[in-house]
Amino acid sequence: MTGKMVLWLLLSCVVTYFVCGIPFGLIVGSKEGHIDIRRVGSGNIGTTNVARSVGAKAAGLTLLLDALKGFLSTLIWSHVFANVLFMGNFERMAPTADFGWMPSIIFLFAIIGHVFSPYLKFKGGKGIAVGFGAALGYIPAVAMGLLLVFLVGAVPSRYVSVGSISTAISLPIWAAIFGYAPTTIYPLIIITLIVVWAHRENIKKLAHHQEKHFSFHHSGDKDKNA
């Protein structure tokens, strides 16, 4: 890599980390429900806990904003890399190409920022919404595959965690199916490991039949453990 490429990559990773670290679930929960989402339900700042502890509207907004920050990160930086480093040659950024790993690294830092938020003492969400958005901005075909896996896992079981964990595991598999370059897939494998790790408590609850089905908070409901 050239010095110019290294500098742009470092800049993009830092910006992505701080942008994707924005805890929209906490912000929306405070604005819509006037509560600190970290102190109710599971204490997680993600869509599921917002849905259970605040309501459908707040959950939808959290989902949208978390997905949007991931989407814009991979989309914008892919364009920046192509224009600044490769004279507008977007083919060099393709996931099957020699520099497809660069947007893949941005994808990884979007997940790192969300799961280890710099604004919450390196705690955060579990990476599903931001991950879907990041995939949509860079590898939309894989994003559709991820959505399919999530629905197949979550809808019949009514466990969001089942859909989420299955989706994370399927990420590098979809990439391999679509013939992406190994250097593009390696960061995706790390993403899978991070997201599965973020769901470690859910895995324990599933194993002990203690995981709760998905539900929305309704006015007058007491706080539920998420």
The Cα–Cα gap between 41 and 192 comes to 25
Residue range 22-48, pLDDT digits in tens:
999 999 999 987 889 999 988 889 898
As a whole number, mean pLDDT of residues 7-33 equals 95
The Cα–Cα gap between 25 and 72 comes to 18
Residue range 174-186, pLDDT digits in tens:
999 999 999 999 9
The Cα–Cα gap between 45 and 28 comes to 10
